[in-house]
């Protein structure tokens, strides 16, 4: 563990890092190779994560969770991301997004029906906000929810929804008052996969791991009872936006984990690979790639860890999560690109982890709000005359 990590993180978070890393190296890394081989998340991944308490980490113990604080959860995401992005996403499916919104805004009945099952991975869940005409501008969603005698009727379409093809429960944001929209006109709904009028109409595989898929969802007068509403009518935008700080810091930590692993692989390869009778590590060009990567990773740790600890203390952090998200995701892209160069032809071959990391980290500059959107939010805060910036999402 590097000295900067030890300097920034308190003892209990260092213990979390060490504990999760032991699990990752001993049990999850072999599963990572199987995930890449079959292009799916096998049952053993869920059972292993569940056995070690890596699912539902932020949920209360009464719902089968570990009651971890936000800092411990995010540091766990960093360590999981050193092996495979899928493991961090599994933790998020069961602890963030829908699970966190359900914990914060759900009724006792909704908690009893769904929360334990989502938290322990018995059922998978998904968070549906993005639409064809509403990506970064989340307030522009068109999916409509109309009140009926029996409850609610949803009509519309969502796309680029992570894990929705496997989800048995989807949290859907829909417009209930077109005039108000983000100012009290969007509501949140819990939609089971067997709800009449709900269908997964397309599944896309991305440039990253084939196990990570995005789905298109269609709602054709989808019938829902009143108890499907999560939180008060009109609070959907609030429900969605309150998950974004955690999501952006999660990306920052995940990018640190991925870049740290890639840097380690780069160093090992440079020390063992011989060219013209000397190790690659003796070449100045390679040394500079490693040095630049180490410096950028250290700077990212300083930014993300400082923001993380401030956030965990309940202090205001302004646009710092956006800074973390942009800086860390772009840093991870540069580090993995250098790693491909150091590995040469081997870095281009499917089956080598460095090649998969190169594809996977590209997601981070778009998901949870693109780099461009984050820069808008940062600039608005610094240029603001007291007006709160309009929140956006990916």
Nearest alpha-carbon partner for 188 in 267, 259, 243, 265: 243
Whether 161 and 86 share a structural domain? no
Confidence at 139, pLDDT banded by 50, 70, 90: confident
On whether residue 209 sits in a domain, the answer given is: yes
The predicted model gives 8-14 an average pLDDT of 93
Give pLDDT, residue 392. 47
Give pLDDT, residue 249. 95
The predicted model gives 273-278 an average pLDDT of 93
Whether 212 and 324 share a structural domain? no
Token pair in block for residue 81 = 């991301």
Calculate Rg over the CA atoms of the chain: 21
Is there a catalytic annotation at residue 204?
A: no
Give pLDDT, residue 386. 54
CATH of the domain at 220: 2.40.110.10
The predicted model gives 324-347 an average pLDDT of 97
The predicted model gives 174-186 an average pLDDT of 92
What is the extent of the structural domain holding 24? 3-96
The predicted model gives 72-88 an average pLDDT of 97
Whether 256 and 345 share a structural domain? yes
pLDDT of 125 above 50 = yes
| 352 vs 284 pLDDT, higher one | 284
Count the neighbouring beta carbons within 10 Å of the beta carbon of residue 268: 11
Q: Given 96, 116, 148, which residue is the final one in a domain?
A: 96
Give pLDDT, residue 64. 84
Whether 137 and 171 share a structural domain? yes
On whether residue 264 sits in a domain, the answer given is: yes
Query: What whole-number percentage of the chain has pLDDT above 90?
Result: 83
On whether residue 16 sits in a domain, the answer given is: yes
Contacts for 161 with CB less than 8 Å, ≥ 6 apart? 126, 127, 128, 130, 170, 214, 215, 216, 217
pLDDT of 277 above 70 = yes
Query: Which pLDDT tens digit goes with each residue over 46-58?
Result: 999 999 999 999 9
Q: Which of 78, 131, 216, 368 is catalytic?
A: 368
On whether residue 146 sits in a domain, the answer given is: yes
Q: Given 234, 253, 268, which residue is the final one in a domain?
A: 234
Number of folded domains in the chain? Answer: 3
Nearest alpha-carbon partner for 342 in 262, 283, 286, 275: 286
Confidence at 2, pLDDT banded by 50, 70, 90: confident
Give pLDDT, residue 394. 42
Q: pTM of this prediction?
A: 0.93
Whether 11 and 29 share a structural domain? yes
Whether 166 and 253 share a structural domain? no
Confidence at 345, pLDDT banded by 50, 70, 90: very high
Kindly report the CA angle at 90 between 88 and 96, in degrees rounded to 5? 85
CATH of the domain at 14: 1.10.540.10
For all residues of the chain together, what is the average pLDDT?
93
The predicted model gives 219-248 an average pLDDT of 92
pLDDT of 7 above 90 = no
Token pair in block for residue 373 = 């959107």
């Amino acid at each position: 563990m590097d000295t900067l990590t030890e300097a920034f993180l308190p003892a209990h978070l260092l213990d979390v890092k060490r504990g999760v890393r032991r699990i990752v190296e001993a049990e999850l890394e072999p599963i990572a190779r199987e995930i890449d081989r079959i292009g799916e998340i096998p049952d053993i991944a869920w059972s292993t994560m569940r056995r070690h308490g890596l699912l539902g980490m932020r949920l209360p113990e009464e719902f089968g969770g570990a009651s971890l604080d936000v800092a411990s959860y995010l540091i766990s995401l960093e360590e999981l991301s050193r092996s495979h992005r899928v493991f961090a996403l599994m933790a998020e499916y069961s602890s963030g997004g829908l699970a966190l919104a359900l914990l914060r805004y759900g009724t006792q009945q909704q908690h009893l029906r769904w929360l334990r099952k989502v938290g322990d991975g018995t059922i998978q869940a998904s968070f549906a906000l993005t639409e064809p005409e509403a990506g970064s501008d989340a307030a522009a969603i068109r999916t409509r929810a109309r009140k009926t005698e029996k409850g609610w009727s949803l009509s519309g379409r969502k796309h680029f929804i992570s894990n929705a093809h496997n989800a048995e429960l989807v949290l859907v944001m829909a417009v209930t008052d077109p005039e108000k929209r983000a100012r009290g006109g969007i509501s949140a709904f819990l939609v089971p996969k067997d709800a009449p009028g709900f269908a997964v109409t397309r599944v896309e595989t991305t440039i990253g791991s084939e196990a990570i898929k995005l789905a298109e969802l269609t709602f054709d007068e989808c019938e829902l009872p009143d108890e499907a509403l999560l939180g008060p009518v009109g609070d959907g935008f609030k429900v969605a936006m309150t998950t974004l700080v955690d999501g952006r810091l999660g990306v920052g930590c995940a990018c640190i984990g991925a870049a740290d692993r890639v840097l380690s692989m780069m160093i090992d390869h440079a020390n063992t690979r011989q060219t013209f009778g000397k190790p690659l590590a003796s070449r100045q060009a390679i040394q500079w790639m490693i040095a630049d990567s180490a410096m950028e990773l250290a700077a990212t740790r300083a930014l993300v860890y400082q923001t993380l600890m401030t956030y965990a203390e309940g202090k205001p952090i302004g646009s710092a999560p956006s800074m973390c998200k942009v800086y860390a995701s772009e840093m991870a892209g540069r580090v993995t690109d250098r790693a491909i160069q150091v590995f040469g032809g081997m870095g281009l071959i499917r089956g080598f982890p460095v090649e998969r990391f190169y594809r996977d980290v590209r997601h981070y500059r778009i998901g949870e709000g693109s780099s461009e959107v984050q820069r808008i939010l940062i600039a608005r805060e610094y240029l603001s005359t007291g007006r709160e910036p309009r929140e956006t999402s990916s």
